[in-house]
């Protein structure tokens, strides 16, 4: 059962990462910086629990705030550009963060062992869960409890004035600006909220893997982050969960027996899904159908 609990942990962490990109995509912006924000959250949370001896929950909160602060700072200059220029700018930021942690060296002695990030060798001995007696099942429950809270907050936001404003900016910036919406404030707020969620995902990831390094937060992870909400659809937060289960559970784990051939099939299935379902797996029509079925039930 530990294998399935571990798989559920991976899906939960990637769901948080996808939801962080979902926030930004609602405003019509494509950002490849989510992996960088996750890296900040991972290293900050790990340093707080390992080096400072802090409890996990405040460490995750501080890690999320740190990532949100950096996302806000990045958002002001980056969101002045659009389209491919924004993609390049956020990609450059993500790579800059990765290279920073590649050269980041800060260790302290704990007994006979030195702990802390050690540049290219990464950050080892993140032992909060094993040292406090957490089982794989309990870690999985914690991850999905956090996922459920984030999804509930985003679901509520989608149905509030905030969600309407975000979608208005994403659909037509000129029309949104004409009714008095501050585009910069909306985009930077979405970027900061997305950074907070990405920071949470990074902090959780660091603690359940017990070892992180700069290579974990590269372009591939950033691409996955934006692929989840695009493939799942921006009509609902549940589309992101469906996409993560499809990619991580079915394509990556379910087809592991295919070896390298899995990579070819992976790309082909993604292209096929995007052509057959251009608005995502959970598009507005599917969402309306599900609501009718639930109403009848």
Enumerate the domain spans of the chain.
Answer: 2-216
Q: Whole-prediction pTM value?
A: 0.90
Q: Per-residue pLDDT for 269 more than 90? A: no
Can you spell out the DSSP letters for 270-282? Answer: HHHHHHH-TT-TT
pLDDT band of 84, cuts 50, 70, 90: confident
pLDDT tens for 249-267 read 887 877 777 776 776 776 7
pLDDT tens digits for 37-78?
Answer: 999 999 999 999 998 889 999 999 999 999 999 998 887 776
Percentage of the residues of the chain whose pLDDT score is greater than 70: 89
Q: What is the mean pLDDT of residues 128-151?
A: 92
Alpha-carbon radius of gyration of the chain = 19
> Which helix or strand (DSSP H or E) is residue 69 part of?
helix 56-78
**Cα–Cα distance between 202 and 227 in angstroms, integer?**
18
* β-sheet bridge partners, residue 118: 105
């Amino acid at each position: 059962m530990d294998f399935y609990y571990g798989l559920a942990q991976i899906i939960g962490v990637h769901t948080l990462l996808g939801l962080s990109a979902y926030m930004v995509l609602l405003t019509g912006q494509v950002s490849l910086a989510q992996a960088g924000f996750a890296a900040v959250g991972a290293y900050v949370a790990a340093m707080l629990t390992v080096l400072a001896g802090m409890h996990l929950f405040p460490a995750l909160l501080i890690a999320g705030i740190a990532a949100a602060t950096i996302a806000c700072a990045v958002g002001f200059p980056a969101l002045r550009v659009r389209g491919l220029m924004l993609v390049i700018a956020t990609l450059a930021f993500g790579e800059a963060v990765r290279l920073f942690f590649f050269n980041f060296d800060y260790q302290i002695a704990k007994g006979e062992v030195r702990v802390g990030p050690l540049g290219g060798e990464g950050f080892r001995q993140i032992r909060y869960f094993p040292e406090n007696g957490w089982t794989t099942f309990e870690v999985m429950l914690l991850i999905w409890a956090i996922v459920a809270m984030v999804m509930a907050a985003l679901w509520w936001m989608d149905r509030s004035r905030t969600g309407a404003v975000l979608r208005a900016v994403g659909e037509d910036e000129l029309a949104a600006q004409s009714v008095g919406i501050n585009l910069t404030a909306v985009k930077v707020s979405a970027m900061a909220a997305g950074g907070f969620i990405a920071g949470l995902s990074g902090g959780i990831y660091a603690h359940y893997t017990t070892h992180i390094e700069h290579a974990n937060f590269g372009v591939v992870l950033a691409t996955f982050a934006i692929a989840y909400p695009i493939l799942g659809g921006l009509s609902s937060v549940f589309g992101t969960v469906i996409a993560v289960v499809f990619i991580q559970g079915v394509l990556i784990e379910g087809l592991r027996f295919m070896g390298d051939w899995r990579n070819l099939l992976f790309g082909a299935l993604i292209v096929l899904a995007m052509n057959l379902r251009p608005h995502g797996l959970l598009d507005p029509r599917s969402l309306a159908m599900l609501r009718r079925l639930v109403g009848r039930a």
